[in-house]
Amino acid sequence: MSKVRLSPSRISDFNNCPQLYKYRAIDQLPEKISVDAERGTLVHSILHDLFDSPALERTLHKTLEILPDIWEKQLAEKPELRTLISDEKEWSDRVASLLSTYFLLEEPETFEATSREIHVEMDLRDDVYLHGYVDRLDVAPTGEVRIVDYKTGKAPKPGWEEKALFQLRIYALIYWRTQGVMPKLLQLLYLGDGKVLKNTPTEADLIGAEKSLMVIADQILLALTTDEWKPKPSRLCDWCSFKEICPAFTT
Ligand code: SF4
What's the 164 CA to ligand 1 centre distance in angstroms? 21
Q: Decide if 24 contacts 13 (C-beta within 8 A).
A: yes
What's the 45 CA to ligand 1 centre distance in angstroms? 29
Cα–Cα distances (Å) from 177 to 120, 147, 165, in that order, read 11, 15, 18
> Which ligand 1 atom is at minimum distance from the Cα of 234?
2
pLDDT-based confidence at residue 3 (cuts at 50, 70, 90): confident
Do 129 and 219 have their domain in common? yes
Do 91 and 187 have their domain in common? no
Q: What is the pLDDT of residue 250?
A: 87
- Mean pLDDT on 12-30: 97
Domain boundary among 56, 85, 110: 110
Is 182 part of a structural domain of the chain? yes
Q: What is the pLDDT of residue 159?
A: 94
Q: What is the pLDDT of residue 1?
A: 58
Is 115 part of a structural domain of the chain? no
Q: How does 89-113 read in b/e, with b if 16+ C-beta sit within 10 Å?
A: eebbebbbebbebbbeebebeeeeb
Q: What is the pLDDT of residue 251?
A: 72
Is 246 part of a structural domain of the chain? no
> Which ligand 1 atom is at minimum distance from the Cα of 17?
8
d(C-alpha 249, C-alpha 19), whole Å: 12
For the entire predicted model, the pTM comes to 0.94
Q: Which domain holds residue 192?
A: 4-29+120-226
Nearest to 182 by CA among 157, 166, 200, 195: 200
d(C-alpha 19, C-alpha 26), whole Å: 10
Do 44 and 131 have their domain in common? no
Is 162 part of a structural domain of the chain? yes
Q: Decide if 210 contacts 173 (C-beta within 8 A).
A: yes
Do 47 and 151 have their domain in common? no
> Which ligand 1 atom is at minimum distance from the Cα of 233?
3
Residue located nearest, by CA, to atom 2 of ligand 1: 237
Q: Residue 183: CB partners within 8 Å, gap ≥ 6? A: 145, 146, 147, 171, 172, 175, 176, 201
pLDDT tops 90 at residue 107: yes
Nearest to 62 by CA among 102, 116, 90: 102
pLDDT, mean over the chain? 96
Do 67 and 173 have their domain in common? no
Mutate which of 31, 34, 236 for ligand 1? The one with the most ligand atoms within 8 Å of its CB, which is 236
- Which residues face 131 on adjacent strands? 121
Do 145 and 85 have their domain in common? no
Q: Decide if 4 contacts 224 (C-beta within 8 A).
A: yes
What's the 30 CA to ligand 1 centre distance in angstroms? 15
pLDDT tops 90 at residue 117: yes
Is 243 part of a structural domain of the chain? no
Q: What is the pLDDT of residue 86?
A: 86
- Mean pLDDT on 23-29: 97
Do 124 and 214 have their domain in common? yes
Is 231 part of a structural domain of the chain? no
Is 237 part of a structural domain of the chain? no
Do 222 and 129 have their domain in common? yes
Q: DSSP string of 33-101?
A: PPHHHHHHHHHHHHHHHHTTS-GGG-SHHHHHHHHHHHHHHHHHH-TTHHHH-S-HHHHHHHHHHHHHH
pLDDT tens per residue across span 52-96:
999 999 999 999 999 999 999 999 999 999 899 989 899 999 999
Do 62 and 23 have their domain in common? no
Mutate which of 237, 238, 250 for ligand 1? The one with the most ligand atoms within 8 Å of its CB, which is 237
Indicate the number of domains in the chain: 2
Mutate which of 14, 17, 228 for ligand 1? The one with the most ligand atoms within 8 Å of its CB, which is 17
Is 241 part of a structural domain of the chain? no
pLDDT tops 90 at residue 2: no
Do 18 and 137 have their domain in common? yes
Do 141 and 219 have their domain in common? yes
Cβ count within 10 A of residue 36: 10
What's the 248 CA to ligand 1 centre distance in angstroms? 7
Minimum mean pLDDT among 1-5, 10-14, 90-94: which range?
Answer: 1-5
Do 139 and 164 have their domain in common? yes
Domain boundary among 87, 110, 133: 110
